[in-house]
Structure 1
Amino acid sequence: MPDPKLTLLPFADISGYTEGFDIVSVQSGHDGLAYVLLINQVPERKQGMFVQTKLNKPYTYKVLIVSDQYVQDVVIGEQHYHYHYVQPLQEHLLLVGARCTYYGNNQFDLNAKVCDMEGAAIREFLLGDGIESVQVTKHGTIWTSYFDEGIFGNNGWEQPVGANGLLAWDAYGNVLYKNTAADIADCYALNVINEQEVWFYYYTDFTLGCFSGGVEPESTRVNFLNPNISGSSGFCTDGYHFLFEAGYGKHLTFIFKKMHKPGSLTEGTEVTLLNEKNTPFQQARQDYRQDRLLLNEGNLLYQVTMKELLSVIE
């Protein structure tokens, strides 16, 4: 059969909330809601290249919590840190900056901030430099994955927090788990299903790992398989079926695979996702969580679940 196509309709239009703001990121929460982080002005890069950590003037962030029924907005003003991610953390919001600097003498940026639903700060803590992805479970376990600079060190970090490539933290920034099973040089993708199941995909071997059993050392297990995809930036799964971004040079091209036998995936089928105009997505942000893919193009949000994919594939 020809490669399957699936047309997605937007489930939300956030244009009424974006005037005077730029979208920073769009992520799914454990609750299936979309969390959109916006800033009133994108900070200039240092020397035109490097992402700022501390900001030289106050900025205003806005968080949109979006379902197909409503949009809730939370304004977080007078901020002097450059945040890139937002996740629900129990009854609060967690903002995280991808970069942070070590200044020497045990002085460093605190790049995680917990705020209440009125935008007031509650606490700050360190999650390390070079964060590739942040996902938080229902019970408040924070999972962070790191790209190469966060693993090998930059921004003054001779002993990087993210040296293990994948860590779990409690809601107060205390380490619960450090990966020791995988030799991660760059964790390209993370998908936190729940407290007991966390998938990750990493370089150098482009291996897919599955953490299970919880964070207690005596119960933790990590299994591996080879997805035969190089450079994928994300994937969603129901544990048996997988949708991957196709890899290097194939942005917004998707490959569907399923478990052929334990530890082995099928060769895969290319899937084309179309917008409501029946044209392929061109510049969409993507976020993969559990069995669903969240897309954002312009001010529109789209979502597809594995069940919907299976309706056109099998």
Structure 2
Amino acid sequence: MLDPKLTLLPFADISVYTEGFDIVSVQWGHDGLAYILLINQVPERRKGMFVQTKLKEPYTYKVLIVSDQYVQEVVIGGQQFHYHYVQPLQEHLLLVGARCTYYGNDQFDLNAKVCDMEGTTIREFLLGDGIQSVQVTKHGTIWTSYFDEGIFGNYGWDQPVGASGLLAWDAYGNVLYKNNSADIADCYALNVVNEEEVWFYYYSDFSLGCISGGFKPESTRVNFLNPNISGSSGFCTDGYHFLFDAGYGKHGTFIFKKMQKSGSLTKGTKFQLLNEKKRPFQQARQDFRQDRLLLSEGDLLYQVTMEELLSVIE
């Protein structure tokens, strides 16, 4: 039997908004809208390798809030920090830089900025270096996962903020939750479904964890599954069905799995997503959140829900 396929049509074309800008990241918000971060020029890396944190000159960022009906544009000018992610934070926007530097004597970059919808800065705080993913809940809980440099230290951090690999914060940068259940060397993927359900996938075990029950130690539960996938960069789920990026050497292709009674996942089915030209997506940006996948190819945005996948597979 041939691998199942699903052809996606774009739900938005943002080309009108991208002239003179480069796309930095494409993410889902908790509200089901797409949040696109753009910059007027991508900063050069230091020594051709290291991502800058503080920038020598001001840059202009742009945030697009996109549905299938409209595009809202927020311009944030005169910025001298390097941001990589954007999320809705209550009635505001949260910009986060993946890297931040520790200079010594309790001097460090503040790599989280909260802005209003006019692009005006409201406050800034620290979320740590080496951030792999940022997702914010409806009630304003900020979840951050970290890659290896943010866990073991670089950019001057001998005691990294992200040493646990996964944290939750309030809207002002106070820690609410710190992972102590998984030995995370690199948190490859994060999916914050809601306040009561947070999934994460990590190296070196390649295990899939689910946090439930809130933040109080007496009620928090963490359960683990083995998805039998190495190096997946993301997944979406309805709690029973899962769509994974296929992992090392197979990024951009997908595997569908479902929960078995034993609390394990099925072997899985390879799954192909095609663009409107019925061609596989080429180097598309992708973001997994809740039960949906967001894809960005060029200036076109695509989405697929678990319900749509199930209509083809089952």
TM range, normalised to the smaller chain?
over 0.9
- Determine if the alignment matches structure 1 residue 24 to structure 2 residue 24: yes
Aligned-partner Cα distance in 2 for 1:32–1:271: 23
| C-alpha displacement of 1:263 | 2.5
Counterpart Cα distance in 2 of 1:30 and 1:215:
19
Alignment of 1:56-67 (within 5 A): 56-67=56-67
Residue 202 of structure 2: aligned partner: 202
Matching residue of 2:105: 105
Change beyond 3 A, Cα 1:262–1:169: farther
Match of 1:269 in 2: 269
Counterpart position of 2:114 = 114
Paired amino acid for 2:62: K
Q: Which runs of 5+ in 2 are unaligned?
A: none
> Secondary structure at 1:307's aligned position in 2?
helix
Equivalents in 1 of 2:277, 2:196: separation in Å? 39
Q: Counterparts in 2 of 1:136-285, with a 5 A limit?
A: 136-285=136-285
Match of 1:72 in 2: 72
Q: CA deviation at 1:147?
A: 0.3
Deviations 1:197-229 (A, max 9, x none): 000000001000000001122211000010000
| CA deviations over 1:240-280 (Å, ceiling 9, x no partner) | 00000000000101000000124200000000000000000
Distance 2:218 2:142 in 1: 20
Q: Which amino acid aligns with 2:175?
A: V
Structure 1 residue ranges without an equivalent (≥5): none
Aligned residue identity for 1:292 = R
1:259, 1:146 → 2: CA distance? 27
2:6 corresponding residue in structure 1: 6
- Letter in structure 2 aligned against 1:40: N
Given the two structures, how large is their TM-score scaled by the length of structure 1? Answer: 0.99
Cα distance in 2, alignment partners of residues 24 and 308 from structure 1: 28
Count of residues in correspondence between the two structures: 314
* CA deviation after TM superposition for structure 1 residue 187, in Å: 0.2
* Aligned-pair identity (%): 87
The range that moved more, 260-269 or 148-157, is 260-269
- 1:37 equivalent in alignment to 2:37: yes
Deviations 1:162-186 (A, max 9, x none): 0000000000000000000000000
Aligned partner letter, 2:133: S
Cα deviation for residue 306 of structure 1 reads: 0.1
Which shifted more, 254-263 or 158-167?
Answer: 254-263
Relative to 1, partners in 2 of residues 1:170 and 1:262: Cα closer, same or farther, differing over 3 Å? farther
1:167 and 1:262, CA in 2 relative to 1: closer, same or farther beyond 3 A?
Answer: farther
- Classify the secondary structure of the residue corresponding to 1:49: coil
Q: CA–CA distance in 2 between the matches of 1:145 and 1:74?
A: 26
Query: Is the CA contact 1:226–1:263 (under 8 Å) kept in the aligned structure 2?
Result: no
**TM-score for the superposition, normalised by structure 2:** 0.99
Which amino acid in 1 is paired with 2:224? F
Q: Distance in 2 between matches of 1:154 and 1:22?
A: 27
Structure 1, 118-127 or 210-219: larger mean CA deviation: 210-219
Counterparts of 1:245 and 1:5, CA distance in 2:
15
The answer on whether the counterparts of 1:272 and 1:280 sit within 8 Å (CA) in structure 2 is yes
Aligned amino acid, residue 242 of structure 1: F
What's the CA shift for 1:156? 0.5
Q: Does 1:52 align with 2:52?
A: yes
Quick one: distance in 1 between partners of 2:40 and 2:241? 39
Residue 309 (structure 1) aligns with: 309
Helix, strand or coil: the match of 2:16?
A: helix
Alpha-carbon offset, residue 91 of structure 1 = 0.2
Amino acid in the other structure paired with 2:21: F
What CA distance in whole angstroms lies between the structure 1 residues aligned with 2:184 and 2:262?
Answer: 22
Secondary structure in 2 matching 1:43: coil
